[in-house]
Amino acid sequence: MTENLPNPISIDAVAPRFSWQLDGGQARNVMQTAYQIKVTDDAKHTVWAPAKVNSDQSMYIYYQGSPLKSGEKYTWQVKVWDNHGKSSQGTATFRMGLLKADDWKAQWIGPGQEEASRPSPLFRKGFIVNKKVKTAIAYITAHSLYEAHINGKRVGDAYLTPGYTSYNKRIQYQAYDVTNLVQPGANAAGASLGSGWYRGIYGIGTRHEIYGKDIALLMQINITYTDGSTATIATDDTWKTSTGEVRYAEIYMGSTIDARMEQKGWSTAGFNDSNWKNAVIGNYPKDILIATVNEPVKKHETFKAIKLFTTPKGEKVIDFGQNLVGWVKFNVRGKAGDKIVISHAEVLDKEGNFYTDNLRDAKCQNTFILKGEGMETCEPQFTWQGFRYIRIEGYPGDIKPEDFTATAVYSDMPPTGTFACSNPLINQLQHNIQWGQKGNFLDIPTDCPQRDERLGWTGDAQVFSRTATFNMNVHNFFTKWLKDVSLDQFSDGSLPHVIPDAFDNGKPTGGGGSAGWSDATTIIPWNMYLAYGDKQILENQYNSMKAWVGFMKSRSHNNLWNTGSHFGDWLFYTRNDDNDGTAAITSKYLIAQCFYAHSTQLLINAAKVLGKTEDVETYTKLLADIKDAYMREYVTPNGLISSDTQTAYAEALEFDMLPENLRAQAADRLEANIRRYGNHLTTGFLGTPYLCDALSRYGHADAAFRLLLQENYPSWLYPIKMGATTIWERWDGIKPDGTLEVPSMNSYNHYAYGAIGDWMYRTVAGIDTKIEQPGYKGITIKPTVGGKLTDVAANYETPYGKASSHWKIENGNFVLDVVIPANTTATVYVPTKGDSAVTESGKPVTKAADQIDGFTAVNIGSGTYHFSTTN
């Protein structure tokens, strides 16, 4: 991998990093002992050939050869040697992006005068190819969304490009190898544009034009002929512009496609564009253009209708069986002018009617006007919807459900994990967590994908970030988003509530600095460092982390951060008829103090990794003061916390707020609190991620399992019993009597409570990285048995390869199958009672290993292992 991507073609890191995996085959204890890299350019000249390095490092080796050139392709080879006397070689390629603003010969172009309804503009240009093409690379970006074509064919398979960044500071472009799309003789290039995040209706209060009002395209095709000569096809005012069938397209609202307006063949060479206007050059910056670091949004799973039915109100509705994010495509035959309207909904109401009130001002409607020429395919553009059901209006003739397909659309991150166990409800929970991630990792991490929001809410992203690493490789996804975190951070160190900052666009008016939200600055970089072992994330984010801690310090008095406005433990358990005070309110300032400590701790951790010893000292002292202030203000000498809630105890325990001697009693109080609520959780966004971990860490795994397995409200499984296929924003999005929560805030696809996934992988299956060997260079396998589970299996694609933990209870004995990838080592903790014997592949291990707290610990290298215990 180059910069964590396979053979990328637009790298703008001046020193890209190389990583590889070793395949240990059937052998055990395989470690790399040495590697040697060689990099050559396209003409096969060596640009870097360092000597063999005796090291087991296989991740993030920085290129250190002669300067890499804009647009050039390079090949790198690595030879590795292992401790079994074997060696092996691998090859990969990468191409540099356009490194300087002047590498862009293209000019930004727009349509000039636009109709008020803003149909999608089309742009086209014919060009001639009269020599043999060696390579053709297209570099494309837009304000805001583009879809490019060459000779009538779509360029690439990405959607909603160029993706969403803080557009006033940086805009990504994408590079495509279009060698196979250009042809000898006459060619045409073209693109259509949508308003998207840049100038569309977006942000709370359905704002418009957050980043600008002009729609614009920047496109350049760099052709290299086999004789070494080059040509550039670039947008300028000789390009022609018009509009076509996409009459309207907005993220929240949906799109209107009038097939009668289609300009057939508009992106082919033979098309007559004589009545098209000339494009108008726009003077927008090119020095903010950057290559794309994360995986683009692509189409993924498709769903067929599971049923077509008529609601009590008489509406025709299709159920796709899964709450998903993307859109519906269908085939239909009708007359010219027939108008079909597809509306979207996540749930039906109590009566079984199509329910859209929770979408607020987002219309989520796609309208298609047919041209009446046989079978037509209808697919929306430059928009997406979050839905399980569609309502169909205006359909000519009988609806054939088999003609409808829903496609899930999300960032194309490699899947990394699976979790399955003997309890089908937990498996459904895992499914819902993954679908929450699929639905809300659409170029940026969003709170929800359906209503008039879909924003990069920092708190939600932070809460879910570690779980996200288990389900998909989110390394580049978060690397990109974190850059916008640091760019949009206010100068006083506070962080806007959403990133990119669609509320303020740089002006600190929309607020920020909420405890647990702005801590995305520290928590996410640290989680990425743990999951991927990538120090560069910490280097890049360090100033941002420090600025956030600085902000909290500047707003504190006597080390107590008790100022500002905070969301608190958002959506915690509360009842309307709360006569006896069961609402689990945790003081917002108490929470703020805990996050102040936690972020400071993470800053210290980062400073240690980066060798910033002065900062380690300064912030260690500060951390002690923060904890002292917390103890003085919020905790009695016996350890009762002034907010006697699950969230207060969970955070106190997870952030090490209490002195050692008060921790066990705090865990007991937490456990007792859970019993008082009849084994229910009462936590909101900020307590939920820590709850089960705090319990299991302090000897109350049983209570954690009782919470996990609780089937009635509030709990993780309650929504599943109510038919959920994603994680809900509220514990009671649908109430036990079938009525729905308030329409003003009731999303059925909000991943925050899915943060329990981290505990399932790391504690129940027990796969974790050692902190001192992050990125799973050192692995821990430490299963937690409980909850009447008899079989738990998790597979996880670490940066080094697959690790897995599969445990079973067989005839009362514990059996554990483990896979550890090559070039890593692991400690396996086999749960043991008293003097029960542990064997590995039939041979006793107990004597050679340590006995710690009910576990027999065994150190192993890579390979496949089978442990079992006999009681």
Contacts of 865 (CB under 8 A, 6+ apart): 816, 817, 818, 819, 820, 828, 840, 841
Q: What six digits make up the tokens of 650?
A: 């969970």
Please state, in angstroms and rounded to a whole number, the distance separating the CA atoms of residues 173 and 103: 13
Least distance from ligand RAM to the Cβ atom of residue 506, Å: 21
Instruction: Choose the catalytic residue: 729, 741, 797, 840.
Output: 729
Cβ neighbour number for residue 638 with a 10 Å cutoff = 8
Residue 519 within binding range of ligand RAM, rule CB under 6 A? no
Binding mask 402-441 for ligand RAM (x = CB under 6 A): ----------------------------------------
Residue with Cβ nearer ligand RAM (61 or 524): 524
From 126-134, 141-149, 457-465, 581-589, span contacting ligand RAM (CB under 6 A): 457-465
Site string for ligand RAM, 749-768 (x = CB under 6 A): -x------------------
Q: Active-site residue 114, yes or no? A: no
From CA 647, how far away is CA 712, in angstroms rounded?
20
Amino acid at 746: N
Q: 17 near 62, Cβ under 8 Å?
A: yes
Confirm whether 741 is a catalytic residue: no
> Shortest distance, CB of residue 515 to ligand RAM, whole angstroms?
12
Q: How far apart are CA 616 and CA 639, in angstroms?
A: 29
Q: Which is nearer to ligand RAM, 164 or 855 (CB)?
A: 164
| Smallest gap from residue 741 Cβ to ligand RAM (A) | 13
Which one, 136 or 571, has the nearer CB to ligand RAM?
A: 571
460: contact with ligand RAM by CB under 6 A: yes
- The site that binds ligand RAM (CB under 6 A) totals a number of residues, namely 9
Contact call for residue 572 and ligand RAM (CB under 6 A): no
Q: Which residues contact 163 (CB under 8 A, 6 or more apart)?
A: 172, 292, 294, 296, 297, 443, 444, 480
Per CB under 6 A, does 503 bind ligand RAM?
Answer: no
The pair of three-digit structure tokens given for residue 101, joined into one six-digit string: 């603003």
User: Among 121, 126, 459, 787, which residue sits at the site for ligand RAM (rule: CB under 6 A)?
Assistant: 459
Determine if 570 is a binding residue for ligand RAM (CB under 6 A).
Answer: yes
Q: Please report, as residue ranges, which positions from 106 to 165 form the binding site for ligand RAM (by CB under 6 A).
A: none
Choice from 567, 573, 728, 807 touching ligand RAM (CB under 6 A)? 567
Query: Quick count: other Cβ atoms within 10 Å of Cβ 758?
Result: 23
Judged by CB under 6 A, which stretch of 56-64, 292-300, 447-455, 589-597 contacts ligand RAM? Answer: 447-455
Handedness of CA 529, 532, 534, 539 (dihedral sign): negative
Phi, psi for 673 (deg, rounded to 5): -60, -45
Residues forming a β-bridge with 471: none
Among the options 346, 453, 651, 797, which is catalytic? Answer: 453
CB of residue 489 vs ligand RAM: minimum separation in angstroms? 17
Q: Choose the binding region for ligand RAM from 22-30, 258-266, 445-453, 624-632 (rule: CB under 6 A).
A: 445-453
Phi–psi pair at 614, nearest 5 degrees = -65, -45
| Closest residue by Cα to residue 517 from 555, 489, 539, 543 | 489
The binder of ligand RAM chosen from 245, 447, 504, 615 (CB under 6 A): 447
- Selection from 263, 123, 284 nearest residue 199 by Cα: 284
Asked if 797 is part of the footprint of ligand RAM (rule: CB under 6 A), the reply reads no
Question: Looking at beta carbons, which residue is closest to ligand RAM?
Answer: 447
**Tokens 């041979």 sit at which residue?**
843
Q: Which is nearer to ligand RAM, 103 or 729 (CB)?
A: 729
Nearer to ligand RAM, 141 or 467 (CB): 467
| Unique residue bearing structure tokens 């689990």 | 584
Report CA-CA distances (Å) from 647 to 571, 588, 630, 650: 12, 11, 15, 5
**Of 137, 293, 448, 666, which lies in the binding site for ligand RAM, with binding defined by CB under 6 A?**
448
Residue 771: Cβ within 10 Å count: 12
User: Which range touches ligand RAM (CB under 6 A), out of 173-181, 308-316, 446-454, 776-784?
Assistant: 446-454
Is residue 657 within 8 A of residue 594, CB to CB? The reply is yes
In the complex, the residues that contact ligand RAM under the rule CB under 6 A are 447-448, 453, 457, 459-460, 567, 570, 750
| Positions marked active-site | 453, 729
